[in-house]
Amino acid sequence: MLIKDIFSLASTPESLAWEPFREGIDIFPLYKVSGGCSAALLRYAPGATVPLHQHSGYEHILVLSGEQADEHQHYTQGTLLISPPGTSHSIISQQGCIVLAIWEKPINFISNP
C-alpha cells in the first residue's frame, strides 16, 4: 500500500474507502495482525469520542489534520503522541480530525466499549 502526501488527506478524505468504526469515527485499515500490531487511519467527526482505554502495547498517533485531546493535553496537526504500555486515556475531537494510528497490541477498553 502506498499513500502519497498523507497530510493532504484532509482536503481529499473521500479518496479512501472509509468504514464505520465507532459512533462518529470512521476507519481505513492499513494492516492488522491478529492479536498483534495494526495500523489505520481514523477520521473523527466533530465531537467524536473514544472511551477510556488502556494500552497493552505502544500506541503511536500522528495527527494529520484537525485536533484531538485527552485528559493530559491537546494535540494539533503534526503532533506525534506515543502512549507506552500500561497508560490509559480517553479521546475527544471537538472539531474533528484525521489521525494515523499504529498499535503494537490491541487496546483494552476500561469503560463503555
CATH number, position 45: 2.60.120.10
Give pLDDT, residue 113: 55
pTM here is 0.92
- Residue 47 in any domain: the answer is yes
Give pLDDT, residue 112: 63
Nearest to 46 by CA among 103, 13, 1, 92: 92
Give pLDDT, residue 10: 78
Give pLDDT, residue 21: 94
Number of domains in the chain: 1
How many Å apart are CA 79 and CA 62, to the nearest integer?
6
Please give the residue range of the domain that contains residue 101: 38-113
- Residue 15 in any domain: the answer is no
- Residue 51 in any domain: the answer is yes
- Residue 9 in any domain: the answer is no
How many Å apart are CA 35 and CA 37, to the nearest integer?
7
- Residue 1 in any domain: the answer is no
- Residue 7 in any domain: the answer is no
Point out the residues of the chain with pLDDT beneath 50: none
Q: What angle do CA 15, 19, 25 make, to 5 degrees?
A: 100
- Residue 28 in any domain: the answer is no
Length of the chain: 113
